[in-house]
Amino acid sequence: MQRTQQDTVSARLPQVQDARNPGMALELDWVASVQANTSAIERRATTLPGRRSVKKDHQAAWLLKAVSLIDLTTLSGDDTPGRVRRLCAKARQPVRPDLLEALGVQSLSTGAVCVYHEMVPVAVEALEGSGIPVAAVSTGFPAGLSPFKLRIAEIEESVKAGAREIDIVISRRHVLTGNWRALYDEVRAFREACGDAHMKTILATGELATLRNVARASLVCMMAGADFIKTSTGKEPVNATLPVSLVMIRALRDYGERTGYRIGYKPAGGISRARDALTYLTLIKDELGRRWLEPDLFRFGASSLLGDIERQIEHHVTGRYSAGWRHAMG
Catalytic residue numbers? 167, 230, 266
* Count of positions (residues) in the chain: 330
Using alpha carbons, select from 202, 204, 200, 193 the residue that is nearest to residue 226. Answer: 200
Amino acid at the residue 252: L
The stretches of the chain forming alpha helices (DSSP H) are 5-12, 28-33, 38-51, 56-68, 81-92, 97-102, 120-126, 148-160, 172-176, 180-194, 211-223, 242-259, 274-288, 304-318
Contact 239, 206 (CB under 8 A): yes
Q: What single DSSP character describes residue 266?
A: E
For 73, counting Cβ atoms within 10 Å of its Cβ (0-12 exposed, 13-18 middle, 19+ buried), the class is buried
Hey, is 146 helix, strand or coil? coil
Contact 118, 83 (CB under 8 A): no
Cis peptide before 22 (omega within 30 of 0): no
Exposure letters 163-180 (e unless 16+ CB within 10 A, then b): bbbbbbbbbbebbeeeeb
Q: What single DSSP character describes residue 209?
A: -
Q: Evaluate the CA torsion angle 163, 157, 197, 272 in order and state its sign.
A: positive
